[in-house]
Structure 1
Amino acid sequence: MNVIAAVDQNWAIGKDGDQLCYLSADLKRFQALTTGHAVILGRKTLATFPGGRPLKNRRNLVLSRTPSFAPEGAEVFRDLDSLLAAAPADAFVIGGESVYRALLPWCRRAYITKIHHAWPADTFFPTLDGDPAWRLAAEEPPLEQDGLVFHYVTYERV
């Protein structure tokens, strides 16, 4: 599996149930990388999508313990084992924090957008820098949008 996330300088990913910022270049990259693949996400992350609907052109696998949760166009899994049994090897884990933490041990590659800014936040991605299980595989030059500098980094499991 793969994981994809946008993080700030402190590896923060969100506040009050939403992303810290939206960068059009990053959203296009996310779409290009994940289209045609399964995406794995939690119920709260799905709720942040337009209309709370699953992403188009992707198989949406949602991890949720809420018994009545059954969104149209998504497959819901009540536990990690059943999700892992159904998830293809090329799936992308797309959030939120608890889903990232639960599935990171099964991921082989991490596509991270590092935003050179720090925001107040209440949700975080595990820090991969300095983690002996991960190595930096690729790093792209910085980009800028609306005064925010960011760059793409790819990590691979050692």
Structure 2
Amino acid sequence: MLTIIAAAAENNALGKDNQLVWHLPDDFKRFKSLTSGHYIIMGRKTFESFPKPLPNRTHVIITRQANYEVPEGCVVVSSLQEAIAFCPKEEEVFVIGGGQIYQQAIDLVDKIDLTRVHTTVEADAFFPEINTQKWELVFEEFHSKDEKHNYDFTFLTYIKK
């Protein structure tokens, strides 16, 4: 199964200057619990936004740069199709960003795990629109802002109709 996992504002903003524009510890925990032990597909800029590779995950990095150097345990490919072909078919594989990769992947995936952050922010990377004719919302869990979270947010899971 191929799954997109993302956090996006109400205007579909993902981030600015290769950084997230919010800090939501419960979203990070959910991301970690869902993706740990799995292959994660990402663009080069998303990979470069991490201080180091995320533990207990196989990183599949898409870049057009020849001879792109990555740490051990990471794989470099030149396209989303090559990334998908590299990953095991019998496991859930996660597409984790960024905006261009999500745009390419949205019609290819089986599921979307989206954290909808209830704010509108300025951004330079955006999540694609979810076409409700093609996607069915099967899970929704609202979280209020609190001392650790500056924004209300909702965990949403969509499956392809």
Question: What TM-score, normalized by structure 1, do the two folds share?
Answer: 0.92
Aligned to 1:22: 23
Q: Name 1:65's counterpart in structure 2.
A: 64
Which of the two has greater helix per residue?
1
Q: Percent identity?
A: 35
State whether residues 80 and 101 of structure 2, in contact with CA within 8 Å, keep that contact through their aligned partners in structure 1: no
How far is the alpha carbon of 1:56 from its aligned partner? 1.1
List structure 1 segments (4+ residues) > 3 angstroms apart after TM superposition.
none
- Measure the CA separation in 2 of the matches of 1:61 and 1:104: 17
What's the secondary structure of 2:106's corresponding residue?
helix
Aligned to 2:152: 149
Q: Which amino acid aligns with 2:19?
A: D
Change beyond 3 A, Cα 1:85–1:141: same
- Any conservation in 1 of the 2:46–2:97 contact (CA below 8 Å)? yes
Name the amino acid aligned to 1:25: D
Unaligned stretches of 5+ residues in structure 1? none
Give the CA RMSD over aligned residues: 1.3
Aligned-residue offset at 1:17: 1.3
CA offset at residue 79 of structure 1? 2.3
Q: Distance in 1 between matches of 2:128 and 2:61?
A: 20
User: In structure 1, what is the equivalent of residue 53 of structure 2?
Assistant: 54
Deviations 1:77-100 (A, max 9, x none): 012332221123410000001111
Alignment partner of 1:4: what SS? strand
* Runs of 5+ unmatched residues, structure 2: none
SS of 2:142's equivalent in the other structure is: coil
C-alpha deviations, 1:1-26, integer Å up to 9, x for none?
00100010111101111112121110
* Matched residues, number: 155
